[in-house]
Structure 1
Amino acid sequence: MTTFTRLAIPDVVLVEPRRFGDARGYFCETYKKSAFDAFGLDLSFVQDNESLSRVVGVVRGLHFQTPPFAQAKLVRAVRGAIFDVAVDIRKGSSSYGAWVGATLSGENGHQLLVPRGFAHGFCTLEPDTIVAYKVDAPYSQPHDAGILWNDPALAIEWPVAAEAVTLSDKDLALPLLADYPTPFAL
């Protein structure tokens, strides 16, 4: 049975699929629609994505897509480990600009459900980390957006020193949340 836990921002959910193990290894259901539906999470995933990060300290994010291609994401580390972060960017939300994070690893099998209206990013904690995630809307380049990973107003407690972070040129050029006119509102 999968365990669902609402985090400090209740719209973000930690998902812990049960693993059945023996001498060969383990088996688990990483996603079962009926379990999500029973918890009140009515999602229809349309695309699976995967990334490989070769070194510790790779930060990817903070990314999101704008409407009408906004995405909910179900994120997990297949191999290695990440510190996964969701930032509320919904104007009018009592948690606007706040973040929550969780450590996801191939070993613990935990997943983070990041709803629409949240920026998402992660930092690798181990080399050769593979991250897989489901999304409920297809990728759309014109709707691809983000905010700066180390925006001081967000005060995200990344588990790696800023000078040790590896970023893409795209992620280095993202705006601060205060400079981004968010299309998300409650």
Structure 2
Amino acid sequence: MQFEKLKIPDVVLLTPKVFGDERGFFMETFRQSEFEQHCGNYAFVQDNHSLSAHGILRGLHYQLEKPQGKLVRVTRGEVFDVAVDLRQSSPTFGQWVGATLSAENKQMLWVPPGFAHGFYVISDEAEFQYKCTDYYNPGDEYCIRWDDSALAIDWLLVDGKAPQVSEKDEQGSLFIEAKKFS
């Protein structure tokens, strides 16, 4: 596995070694010891799997009391995945980083606790899977608007068309008003 720190160094892009031939392929998608060496000492307690259609944008989501670190990947289709640093004590506070994840490139993104997370579906549809370091807590979920001009996220929108978002995400907070981590 190759681990690449992005412009926000706590966010790490993982590229697995893929062994393939005419029969198909094999790859190791997770090894605790290597993950700890490159990303930190975290344990995962919940796995999630979603299916979204083309043009869907989910996010920017986070939990404050029980923050979740997420190791995300796409097993069908392609998404543009984004992490926003909400740690006020961080030198990269308020900055974002993004990566294109797909079934083809098989890359994964480590989004540590203290970040808001979201993704936009570029392909016809995408299956998105992720491991979480804490349990989903519906009473502790927050959302920042995907289109907040203070963040100026370049979502790689297909043909510049506005994405489809849930009502909850449409009502997300602006970054300046959002609750943040200390």
Alignment TM class, shorter chain as reference: over 0.9
Partner residue of 1:77 out of 70, 74, 78: 74
Partner residue of 1:139 out of 125, 136, 146: 136
Match of 1:150 in 2: 147
- Consecutive unaligned residues of structure 2, counting only runs of 5 or more, are none
Q: What is the alpha-carbon distance in structure 1 between the residues aligned to residue 119 and residue 44 of structure 2?
A: 21
- Residue 75 of structure 1 aligns to a residue whose secondary structure is strand
1:80-99 maps to which residues of 2 (within 5 A)? 80-99=77-96
Match of 2:172 in 1: 174
The two structures, once aligned, show a CA RMSD in angstroms of 1.2
| Per-residue deviation, 1:163 | 4.0
- Cα deviation code 1:120-158 (max 9, x no counterpart): 000001012100000010110111111011100000001
Taking only the aligned residue pairs, the percentage that are identical comes to 46
| Per-residue deviation, 1:41 | 2.0
- Cα deviation code 1:62-111 (max 9, x no counterpart): 001112x1100000001000000000011122111100000000000000
What is the TM-score when the length of structure 2 is the normalising length? 0.96
Match of 2:27 in 1: 28
- Residue 130 of structure 1 aligns to a residue whose secondary structure is strand
- Residue 178 of structure 1 aligns to a residue whose secondary structure is helix
In structure 1, give the amino acid aligned to 2:126: T
1:160-171 maps to which residues of 2 (within 5 A)? 160=157, 163-171=161-169
- Consecutive unaligned residues of structure 1, counting only runs of 5 or more, are none
| Per-residue deviation, 1:39 | 2.1
- 1:126 is aligned to 2:127: no
Aligned length: 181
1:2-41 maps to which residues of 2 (within 5 A)? 2-41=1-40
What is the TM-score when the length of structure 1 is the normalising length? 0.94
